[in-house]
């Protein structure tokens, strides 16, 4: 499938129905378009099975609750919607995007309690998120923006509004020839990339930021479990910027990123070492098992 995302063949599940792709539209006065009242999930389907699909659907509902936006579907209904969409498009391997948002209604201001919460599930066939970086290691810029404090916004939600600085940071990174950007958090600790969690290796042990102000990714949790099952020590902790030069390996995790090695962050270089390659291969086996 190719072309602009609003001009493709296929169907999208929308508010309980499968509708032609080009007809899956919303009004220009949809609340989410003006005030970012939207939450979403990114998932991958491998060999006809969505990896950790139920966990993603449950998180979508939690994200909605955190934004005071009760989504009118159960986990079971969301799961059915995803598989109905995949079947209607004839896909067994695809990226799946579920999104819930406040639509147009009688409110058109900051308040939107009278507007309906709508939902859609789309999908597309998508390869490696970072292209050939999965083999040679991604190059990351360091973002000028910082991940916000959980006292300013519900950082545990996968909410659209949290991604605006990600878009700006990724644009700036790409202009420098980088694949992505790494954020520090509001306190100055290492946080994450624009759409992926980050891991480091030093002397055979793994270090990853404490997710107290970033999304505790489902892929992140999966990879931590895999590492511990292999007997590898994993430290979830605050990581100082000055520690970057002491790490030998680095990788990113996320539904889109899967496990992607990192070769450079700013002026710091990392090897695509054995542990990075092993965990990437093990993850690939797991999602296709």
What pTM value is reported for the model?
0.95
Q: Report pLDDT for 65.
A: 98
Which residues are known to be catalytic? 158
> Tens digits of per-residue pLDDT, 88-109?
999 999 999 999 999 999 989 9
> Tens digits of per-residue pLDDT, 24-48?
999 999 999 999 999 999 999 999 9
> Tens digits of per-residue pLDDT, 261-288?
999 999 999 999 999 999 999 999 999 9
| Same fold yes or no, 11-124 and 133-287 | no
Residue 272 in contact with residue 249, Cβ under 8 Å? yes
> Tens digits of per-residue pLDDT, 153-190?
999 999 999 999 999 999 999 999 999 999 999 999 99
> Tens digits of per-residue pLDDT, 203-219?
999 999 999 999 999 99
For the domain made up of 11-124, give the CATH fold.
Answer: D-amino Acid Aminotransferase; Chain A, domain 1 (3.30.470)
Of 138, 265, 284, the closest CA to residue 219 belongs to 284
pLDDT above 70 as % of the chain: 99
Q: Report pLDDT for 153.
A: 94
Q: What is the β-pairing status of strands 180-185 and 138-147?
A: parallel
Structural domain spans, the chain: 11-124, 133-287
Alpha carbon 156 to its chain's center: 12
pLDDT at 136 over 90: no
In sequence order, which residues have a C-beta less than 8 Å from that of residue 43 and are 6 or more positions away? Answer: 50, 51, 52, 53, 56, 82, 95, 96, 97, 98, 255
Q: Report pLDDT for 1.
A: 52
Mean of pLDDT over the chain: 96
CATH number of the domain at 133-287, please?
3.20.10.10
């Amino acid at each position: 499938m190719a072309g602009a995302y609003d001009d493709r063949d296929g169907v999208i599940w929308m508010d309980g129905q499968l509708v032609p792709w080009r007809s899956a539209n919303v009004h220009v006065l949809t609340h989410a378009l003006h005030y970012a009242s939207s939450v979403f999930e990114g998932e991958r389907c491998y060999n006809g099975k969505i990896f950790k699909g139920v966990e993603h659907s449950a998180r979508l509902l939690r994200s909605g609750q955190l934004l005071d936006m009760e989504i009118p579907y159960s986990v079971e209904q969301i799961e059915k919607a995803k598989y109905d969409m995949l079947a209607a498009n004839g896909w067994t391997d695809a990226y799946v995007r579920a999104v819930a948002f406040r639509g147009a209604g009688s409110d058109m201001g900051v308040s939107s309690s009278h507007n309906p919460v709508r939902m859609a599930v789309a999908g597309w066939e998508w390869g490696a998120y970072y292209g050939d970086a999965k083999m040679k290691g991604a190059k990351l810029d360091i973002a000028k923006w910082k991940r916000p404090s959980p006292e300013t916004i519900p950082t545990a939600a996968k909410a659209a509004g949290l991604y605006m600085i990600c878009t700006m940071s990724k644009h700036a990174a790409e202009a420098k020839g980088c694949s992505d950007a790494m954020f520090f958090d509001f306190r100055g600790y290492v946080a994450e990339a624009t759409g992926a969690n980050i891991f480091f290796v030093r002397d055979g042990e793994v270090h990853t930021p404490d997710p107290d102000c970033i999304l505790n990714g489902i892929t992140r949790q999966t990879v931590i479990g895999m590492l511990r099952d292999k007997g590898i020590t994993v430290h979830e902790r605050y990581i100082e910027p000055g520690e970057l030069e002491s790490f030998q390996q680095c990788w990113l995790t996320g539904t889109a990123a899967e496990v992607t090695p990192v070769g450079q962050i700013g002026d710091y270089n990392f090897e695509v070492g054995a542990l990075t390659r092993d965990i990437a291969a093990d993850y690939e086996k797991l999602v296709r098992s």
